[in-house]
Structure 1
Amino acid sequence: MSTRSESPSNASVLHQEMDDSFGWDTLQDRLRNSIVSISSVVPMDFDTESRGGHNATGFIVDAEQGIVLSNRHVMAPGPSYHKGTFFNNQEIHLQPHYYDPVHDFSFFRYDPAELKGIVPVAIRLAPEKARSGLPVRVIGNDSNEKMSVLQGELSQLDRNAPNYNRDGDECYKDFNTFYFQSATSSSGGSSGSPVVDIEGDAVALQAGGRADTASNFFLPLDRVKYALDYIRRGAVPPRGTMQAVFTHINHTDAERRGLEREAAVQEGACIEGTTGVLIVKKILASGPADGCLAIGDIVITANATAIHGFVELAQILDSSIGSSVCFRVFRNSQFVTVSVDVHDLHCFMPSKFLKIGGRILHDLSIHHALCASVPIFGVKITGSDNVFIPQRECHQRNVIYAINNRPTPNLEALMDVLYDVRREETVLVHVKNYDDLRDEAVFATSCPVVTLSTMVYTRSLATGFWSFKDFDGLAAPERISRPAQLAEAPIASDSAVVDLCRDMKAADLGEKSHIAAIKQAIVHIDARPLCPADGHYRGQHTGCGLVVDARRGLIVCPTDVVSNPTSHVTVTFGGVLRTPATVAYVHPMYPVSFLKYDPTLIADGLLDFTIVGSSIVPADGVDAAKPLATGESITVLFSTMIAGLELAKTVVSGRRTISSTSCGLCFNQRFFNIEVFTVAGGTTTTDPSFGAVCDDDGTIRGLYIGLPKCAHDEKHCGLVGIDISLMLPIITRLLGSDATPDCVRTLDVEYEHLSFAKAGAYGATSAHANAVVQETPDARAFLKVTKVIKVRPAETAQLEVGDIVLRANGKTVSQMADIACFYGGDSADLSIIRRGKEMALSVPTSPHVGFNTRRVVFWAGVYLQEPHAQVIQQATCVASQVHSFFYDAGTPYAQGAGHYDVFVTDVGGTPVNTLDDAVRVVKQLKSKTAQEFNECVAANERFSSGRMPGLDVTVGATKLTGEKVVEAIRTNDHYLPAWQLTRGPCIEDEWVYELL
């Protein structure tokens, strides 16, 4: 391989002539001030890189201007921020100045005036010195160990670019360049290290390696040195492309393809001293090479210059942008001359994206297009979020081709479409999998009124930073009373919706009246969380629920469907009408949630059934409601994913107690002290997901639902029956008030059944047993305390493990519902058996709040909220009312603190006990220059430093075990501004997003 030698710069260069006393043992001392340990944080998914943090290496190539060379994948093409640590442990903020569109190298900048106590010198780039067998050293931060020195020698100099795919996941790939190979056994942290010879000159750049062998891959420095000359002048290196990929083959392989050496030499090829030729491997459709070059073409010359390596090809392409290149190629046993236009490669790298919630939309890059061999067309979907583009509808290899039947060839076209779309307005999104364009889908979605952020980000070529501004599209909807939207059709008048619903009602008249009413009352629910909360993350959930009062718009559903209180919920009636709903209440003890929709959005007469008041609540009140008895005949109207609704007549086969539905490792909702029923034959219907249980006269007696799944146990819990009597206290309160009824109180213990046969050892007598049987004839057990969830002060009365509860507030305890929950009252008067003696206690009840969270604060990457019941149950002590259970990857908190499921007790030395305290401190810590910085980046103003708006802050926290920790983080108010979601006290109040 021939190389082009360029004269070195006049900048400070580390170079020493060899003498008899010089050797490898002194090399580390000479280079240590030139090596920079780089800590990179990528807060957003973008193009080929995912959010997260990593450590790598860079080295100084210009000390006067503060230019550091490293890898492209270290910088990442999207928003990122970086910190460099020098040998004396001084930290400097690095500016992500430039990354090559294709090759794996990038340049950072720092302000030389910020360095104290160290005088760095530049390592000279010497690509011309690379040769097979050259002894080299890789000096960097291997495995993040400072100044590791690995030895080896250059072996293969004409290796094609490596493939970095991991387990089928698509990631960055280099192309149209040689790579060097060496067995240096370097690992993570070495990326960006200089590969130096004995004179201390860099002959290559560490880029990657194989995890299963000692092989490592180095990037040649020819195009790096070319780009550095432009960077020093403050210019962007020209980079040309034909949207084609070439690969290198040896001369023997070329001869197998019919190319004789003598004929190639006559056509202008250079054979002597070379190892092979270039061949066309891939051409993008609709690109400049499409129809000119062909797959398998062997390149002989370009513009009459012999091409036998990638360096010569790159030189010609980079100098021919906007013009054409004349190629002489060997094709099908003959030589052909073709002319190919050269485009600007920078134009095919996305430098703008639209962020809607957690979703990031940007132009399809040339990397992804070449990987999948598809034209550069469409808008790629990146990031994780379910608010606007649900995860289940598409994955991150999908490209949006059209919205509302309007083509979206690029991001600008997509934003033009969204300018005409209002929030909550249904749009059709046409997506294709760019790995297989036959895999396409069209789905309907809408953007809710509240999202975390809707911004347009643009990269500044002058600095490498990204500026942002509000997106003017997706305007708020006009709030008018109108019928709900038609769910399945893209366009339908209100009258068409009304007619369709009335036709469906007429078709139901042949059924029994109560079955028809229940059929109308079963609705489909779609829940998409805005952010993590209450131990639940961003996953989209769908399922069914039951309307319990159409006049008030109240729905009950399994908690497994709506578990996150920040969920954006839509409800579909009969597959026809769709309307938004709010999370009215999440029961803290039982696996049911309650939703509220606006009944005025439903046209009069379409949903005229009323269940509560005539079918659910007994005439003599809530207390008269009885649970289903074993052997009682019931009718279950199942909702299935395949067959729709199915009717099953059966009997209650048994009852059992659920003690816990989650392990100690996860912090989603944990249910206990609940008795459920099962039906004869189990769930024999086709894939049931929900069931409404009624008796022969149509009275709703319960729900047949699935229990929430444990995050660490994928076993399905099956469906169980929940008595409607357990839900009535909350239903009646929701119907009687607009305020959230945080009225559930407990004794902070868990119970289990203790058979009469064993109870004698605990001091129970036959008289005690007879009292229980008189209340419930089928009962054959007492309720015994098995666990104390929260230890109370010694002076406060409390139940103990082993206590048998006989009566509560004067009523005999015969079933779990008698003692599990209390609705009102600060204490409960109990009669118990403790250590063989019957005694009376007045035990204070504890409120169960937190599962109806009304506020979430996001700061430095961590989500803060008041501790919910599951956390309180597992915590040794509750150190504050500010709980952190989740943080995002690629954020300051993830990189600096890394502790979750903790109580935050102080921030920046200021004590924090409530969310109000946290918000007040966060506002005080907000950088005063954040807005000015964003405006300067948008104006392409240059910065001498890589410092971004933010502060170094300590965070004190207490783990659930009581262990105290203090960590230091660096906030970033530019890419990760603090915000909060708040919601009012009423059940119909919407969430409000606010930047702090």
Structure 2
Amino acid sequence: MRFKLMNFRLPAFRFEFFIPLLSLLAVTTPLHASEELRWQQAIDHAAQAVLAIRVDAPRSFDTGINNSVQATGFVVDAEQGIVLTNRHVVQPGPTVAKGVFLNREEIKLIPIYRDPIHDFGFFKYDPKALTYNKPVALGLMPEAVQRGREIKVVGNDGGEQLSILSGTIARLDRPAPLYGRGNFNDFNTFYIQAASSTSGGSSGAPVIDIEGNVIALNAGANMRNAASFYLPLDRVVHAFKRIRDGIEITRGTLQTTFKYQPYDELKRLGLSDENEALVRAQDPAAVGLLTVAYLVPEGPADGLFEAGDILLKINDEWVRHFISLEAMLDRHVNDDISVVIERAGKQLTLMLKVQDLDEITPSRYIDVGGAILHDLSYQQARSFNIPVSGLYVAYGGYMLSNELIGRGSVITSIAGHEVNTVDEAEAVLQTISDGERFSVHFFQLVNSRQKMQRVVTMDRRWFPASSCYRDDVKGLWPCEEWPAKTLVSKPQPSTTRFVTSETPALQRMVQSLVRVNFDMPYVVEGITETRYTGAGLLIDIERGWVLVDRDTVPTTLGDVTIIFAGSLEVPGHVEFVHPQHNFAMVSYDPTLIGDTPVRNVTFSDEPLAPGDDVWLIGSKMNHKLISHKTTVAEIDMLSLPLPSVPRYRATNLEVISLTSQANTVGGVLTDKDGAVQALWSSFGYQRNNKFGSMVVGVPVEVVLDQLRWQQQALSSAITRTMASELNFVPLNEARKRGLDNEWALTMEAHDSETRHVLQVIRVAAGSPAAAVLEGGDLILAIDGHVVTTFLEVERAAQQAALKVTLLRGGEILEVNLQTVPLDGVGLKRFVSWAGAIFHRQQREIAAQRGWDDDGLYVSWIWKGSPAAHYGVYPTGRLTELEGVAIRDLDGFVTRLHEIAGLASVRVKMISLNGKETMLTLKLDNQYWPPFELRDDGEHGWQRAGISPE
């Protein structure tokens, strides 16, 4: 088949299209390359001025919280070392910052200005301190910003030191982003918007154009999309020039939030045709005017402005946008101004006085009882629509948090004195002695109409009290400690009466049960909860001894309060905490309860068994005592999960469960006559990183030996232990592992009901048992006596040396085991350094994690501290400081004296899984001076600073 060749030619429009396209490519390719080169030059230039900023906020203050963050800044004056960034980076309160240039040279940054309204601030560095870097200064050009302009954001996005994000300016009139009530929020300004997907770390980054000019300041972003928000630079330039020239920055306010409204909305609000024509003629590009959005109560404009008022003129000058408004207010601080508004079609002239923004921007705070208090700020008052008056709780600390007065509260009265300022509060608080109680009236910002009252106990023992103020020259907040106050006089004796009950068991116990509260000022020994309450049992009214569980008093460090009959409170003291079992002993001064009719509890010698009837006598949260008749369901091994953080965990114990029980915080199980057969105790535990508690019965024979000894005299060692955690293995399982028939019959004869064998689960590292016992060993006998219960093992272990018969790998072995003496002294000392708490390793680390006593345990770090900044972590162990091994607190304190002159130190840490890490810390003794807390036995806990000498 033949094919006919068809004549084919391109249509004219196709041909004509290709010719211009080829020509365009020929022309634009070098243009595109030129544009890329210009961008590269602009980015390279900007990168030389950009710093990755690392900020530590050591104290919560106003809208900021103590924390360590990363951000961006850039040099705007290389000769003076002035760096521009965001206000939320500079922080409203104390700030410690450093900047890292692109060549990784680090420089100290001093905060010199944070704007009270807008999200910009300035740091300063010493240019002479730079050795390897000569940064350039970026020029600020707010007039260059325009819709559709391509931009680059050069910053420390995501903490990556340098990142470059692209975008196109989409809006010039976006409302200021809202970050939530109680947080810093910008207002009375437009924001610029582009889709550049900035994230954490880019705050304070320059937004540059292709010429390398900074046209905006990156400030925030929408977490749900790519939108980023930039602050216009008009007022930034104004402030920068004054800082550069050494001129004070004045900021004025009417305590009014304005909103830009378009003309169509303004017409509905009552804008006259005449005024609209006048405004449009002056600025044809404008599309609206400012209106009053809302006012702060009792501010300069309260009662004069109304929401919806249209702002026309100030001092006969037209005000068409935020920039001219702020310029006018800043020029007339403390002056009266004439303001022309239009309200519902009527033009009004009002006289207002411009307030100094510095007057309503806090610049000092007091630190008392661990709480941070300062004047309520305009930022917070505006967010919650309340007057700028009162004492703001930036951090509740120990003293106030104990009474549920936390961050976000505003105190209006202290000890019967009205307080509106921090100065007034300081004058009152300095008259109150340590341990003295005083009333506090307050409200919470989220519900300012609900007034509340609490009785607070002054604390000058656990935390020092001081007054601090902002010094913008030095960039610090120096503090002056308050004069020491004598301890409050000893409480006077008081008397109360117990309720009566028709239930014999309850009536017998009502005078022997009390409520015990325990508050911890610091996190130690893995115990992160700080408030506890539970039932206490009077065991020696002559000495004032009260038995409690360790879920009520978990450690020795804290304040004890004992409450009688739900009426009378007296202070207490921790006598000891049992190192193994779930009980502790606290005491009170018996003279303080006057003629209150208390009596010692009576213990029963009859052990409980499943099916026995008992009376649960317990204390409810409202202090009411209840009686509940029930039955013992079973007695079985207590099995609590291993906590992720080493802390006290009850082991080697059989506990009682009931067929039914009432909801209580603790109590006792008694017979019908009120004789105690078991403690109804709360056990704390941790599962899946969540803390919980369970209440079960503890047979009284577990603690009777200890109580009899305790009645006689105190001793340093209260028990001995095999340093091993045990559990039960069924007898049939033991046979599978090689237990012969003779031994099996012997075990059955010894305990015919339970039919189990004791198994070693884990052995404490560093103990004698670690050398002779292994996990999986089955304990058969001790010193020739068969043992099948925890109590039998415990009683046998009170000897210094034991001969243990065990089954291992199918073989019967006999090993000699030295027991370990344990005391109930508990924690008696810790050292705080670099914002972390260090103390001796609690025995739970060896028992639960298998680590020997090596180094100091890190129990806590404060956010915003050098420890937090440089990676010191709780549960870690400090084993070496600046090349010297650290074994104990004495060696640690000695080493701190030796390295006192060093600005940074090397620290070796070991994690719970044995991973070693070498860290470097830059110290900050201004906000985190080292101190020691010690219980000397005679005067109780005493705090002392660790001086460099």
Q: 1:193 aligns with which of 195, 198, 205?
A: 205
Give the Cα separation in 1 of the matches to 2:41 and 2:590: 81
Secondary structure of the residue aligned to 1:389 is: helix
The verdict on how the C-alpha distance between 1:94 and 1:236 changes in structure 2, with shifts beyond 3 A counting, is same
After the TM superposition, which residues 972-991 of structure 1 pair with which residues of structure 2 at under 5 Å, given as runs? Answer: 972-984=924-936, 986=937, 990-991=940-941
The verdict on how the C-alpha distance between 1:73 and 1:120 changes in structure 2, with shifts beyond 3 A counting, is same
Deviations 1:287-330 (A, max 9, x none): 11101111111111111111111111101111111112211112
On the 8 A contact 1:858/1:978 being kept in 2, the answer is yes
Partner residue in 2 for 1:413? 424
Partner residue in 1 for 2:619? 639
Note if 1:293 corresponds to 2:243.
no
Partner residue in 2 for 1:652? 632
Partner residue in 2 for 1:861? 835
Give the Cα separation in 2 of the matches to 1:822 and 1:919: 40
The verdict on how the C-alpha distance between 1:822 and 1:993 changes in structure 2, with shifts beyond 3 A counting, is farther
On the 8 A contact 2:686/2:692 being kept in 1, the answer is no
The verdict on how the C-alpha distance between 1:849 and 1:241 changes in structure 2, with shifts beyond 3 A counting, is farther
Q: 2:677 aligns with which of 701, 723, 747?
A: 701
On the 8 A contact 2:271/2:344 being kept in 1, the answer is no
On the 8 A contact 1:523/1:572 being kept in 2, the answer is yes
Equivalent residue letter for 1:960 = L
Secondary structure of the residue aligned to 1:668 is: coil
Higher relative contact order (CA 8 A, sep 6+): 1
Partner residue in 2 for 1:329? 341
The verdict on how the C-alpha distance between 1:606 and 1:643 changes in structure 2, with shifts beyond 3 A counting, is closer
Partner residue in 2 for 1:163? 178
The verdict on how the C-alpha distance between 1:203 and 1:762 changes in structure 2, with shifts beyond 3 A counting, is closer
The verdict on how the C-alpha distance between 1:673 and 1:197 changes in structure 2, with shifts beyond 3 A counting, is same
Deviates more, 1:297-306 or 1:23-32: 23-32
Shift of 1:861: 1.6
Deviates more, 1:519-528 or 1:723-732: 723-732
After the TM superposition, which residues 488-507 of structure 1 pair with which residues of structure 2 at under 5 Å, given as runs? Answer: 497-498=494-495, 501=496, 504-505=497-498
Note if 1:524 corresponds to 2:515.
yes
After the TM superposition, which residues 485-564 of structure 1 pair with which residues of structure 2 at under 5 Å, given as runs? Answer: 497-498=494-495, 501=496, 504-505=497-498, 508=500, 512=504, 515-516=506-507, 518-537=509-528, 539-564=530-555
Q: 2:908 aligns with which of 950, 953, 956?
A: 956
Give the Cα separation in 2 of the matches to 1:352 and 1:283: 26
Q: 1:91 aligns with which of 95, 106, 117?
A: 106
Give the Cα separation in 1 of the matches to 2:889 and 2:335: 61
Shift of 1:757: 3.9
Partner residue in 2 for 1:826? 800
Unmatched runs of 5 consecutive residues or more in structure 1 = 1-18, 484-496, 619-624, 928-949
TM-score scaled by structure 1?
0.87
Deviates more, 1:175-184 or 1:562-571: 562-571
Deviations 1:4-42 (A, max 9, x none): xxxxxxxxxxxxxxx999711211222232111111111
Shift of 1:277: 1.1
Q: 2:593 aligns with which of 602, 605, 624?
A: 602
Equivalent residue letter for 1:586 = V
Partner residue in 2 for 1:993? 943
Equivalent residue letter for 2:761 = T
On the 8 A contact 1:855/1:983 being kept in 2, the answer is yes
Shift of 1:48: 0.6
Shift of 1:733: 4.1
Note if 1:566 corresponds to 2:545.
no
The verdict on how the C-alpha distance between 1:963 and 1:230 changes in structure 2, with shifts beyond 3 A counting, is same
Deviations 1:110-132 (A, max 9, x none): 11111112222211122222222
Give the Cα separation in 1 of the matches to 2:134 and 2:748: 88
On the 8 A contact 2:718/2:824 being kept in 1, the answer is no
Note if 1:43 corresponds to 2:43.
no
Equivalent residue letter for 2:567 = V
How many residues end up aligned between the 2 structures? Answer: 913
The verdict on how the C-alpha distance between 1:359 and 1:751 changes in structure 2, with shifts beyond 3 A counting, is same
Partner residue in 2 for 1:667? 646
Partner residue in 2 for 1:727? 703
The verdict on how the C-alpha distance between 1:511 and 1:820 changes in structure 2, with shifts beyond 3 A counting, is same
Partner residue in 2 for 1:7? none
On the 8 A contact 1:39/1:54 being kept in 2, the answer is yes
The verdict on how the C-alpha distance between 1:251 and 1:738 changes in structure 2, with shifts beyond 3 A counting, is farther
Shift of 1:809: 4.3
On the 8 A contact 2:762/2:848 being kept in 1, the answer is no
Note if 1:56 corresponds to 2:71.
yes
The verdict on how the C-alpha distance between 1:114 and 1:777 changes in structure 2, with shifts beyond 3 A counting, is same
Give the Cα separation in 1 of the matches to 2:349 and 2:546: 72
Partner residue in 1 for 2:890? 916
Shift of 1:793: 7.6
The verdict on how the C-alpha distance between 1:224 and 1:391 changes in structure 2, with shifts beyond 3 A counting, is farther
Partner residue in 2 for 1:806? 780
Deviations 1:396-420 (A, max 9, x none): 2211111233212121222222123
Unmatched runs of 5 consecutive residues or more in structure 2 = 1-33
Shift of 1:725: 2.0
Secondary structure of the residue aligned to 2:838 is: strand
On the 8 A contact 1:797/1:844 being kept in 2, the answer is no
Partner residue in 1 for 2:224? 212
Partner residue in 1 for 2:15? none
The verdict on how the C-alpha distance between 1:360 and 1:293 changes in structure 2, with shifts beyond 3 A counting, is same
Partner residue in 1 for 2:454? 443
Partner residue in 2 for 1:10? none
Note if 1:840 corresponds to 2:814.
yes
Give the Cα separation in 2 of the matches to 1:821 and 1:61: 76
TM-score scaled by structure 2?
0.91
Give the Cα separation in 2 of the matches to 1:272 and 1:93: 48
Equivalent residue letter for 2:614 = I
Give the Cα separation in 1 of the matches to 2:690 and 2:914: 30
After the TM superposition, which residues 760-909 of structure 1 pair with which residues of structure 2 at under 5 Å, given as runs? Answer: 760-764=735-739, 768=743, 778-790=753-765, 798-809=772-783, 811-820=785-794, 824-848=798-822, 852-878=826-852, 880-909=854-883
The verdict on how the C-alpha distance between 1:454 and 1:825 changes in structure 2, with shifts beyond 3 A counting, is farther
Shift of 1:479: 4.4
Deviates more, 1:711-720 or 1:421-430: 711-720
Partner residue in 1 for 2:27? none
Aligned-pair Cα RMSD in Å: 2.6
Shift of 1:197: 2.0
Equivalent residue letter for 1:886 = W
Secondary structure of the residue aligned to 1:318 is: helix
Q: 2:666 aligns with which of 672, 682, 690?
A: 690
Partner residue in 2 for 1:467? 478
The verdict on how the C-alpha distance between 1:921 and 1:838 changes in structure 2, with shifts beyond 3 A counting, is same
Shift of 1:876: 4.4
Shift of 1:84: 0.9
The verdict on how the C-alpha distance between 1:736 and 1:919 changes in structure 2, with shifts beyond 3 A counting, is farther
The verdict on how the C-alpha distance between 1:742 and 1:50 changes in structure 2, with shifts beyond 3 A counting, is farther
Equivalent residue letter for 1:826 = A
Deviations 1:775-809 (A, max 9, x none): 65643323233344437689x75233343323334
Secondary structure of the residue aligned to 2:399 is: coil
On the 8 A contact 1:756/1:781 being kept in 2, the answer is yes
Deviates more, 1:172-181 or 1:449-458: 449-458
Deviations 1:218-265 (A, max 9, x none): 111111111112212334300011111111122222123232443344
Give the Cα separation in 1 of the matches to 2:204 and 2:283: 34
Partner residue in 2 for 1:968? 920
On the 8 A contact 2:111/2:472 being kept in 1, the answer is no
Secondary structure of the residue aligned to 2:684 is: coil
Give the Cα separation in 1 of the matches to 2:863 and 2:795: 39
The verdict on how the C-alpha distance between 1:643 and 1:359 changes in structure 2, with shifts beyond 3 A counting, is closer
Shift of 1:567: 1.7
Deviates more, 1:373-382 or 1:968-977: 373-382
Equivalent residue letter for 1:897 = G
Give the Cα separation in 2 of the matches to 1:175 and 1:850: 59
Give the Cα separation in 1 of the matches to 2:795 and 2:176: 65
Give the Cα separation in 2 of the matches to 1:720 and 1:764: 33
Equivalent residue letter for 1:609 = R
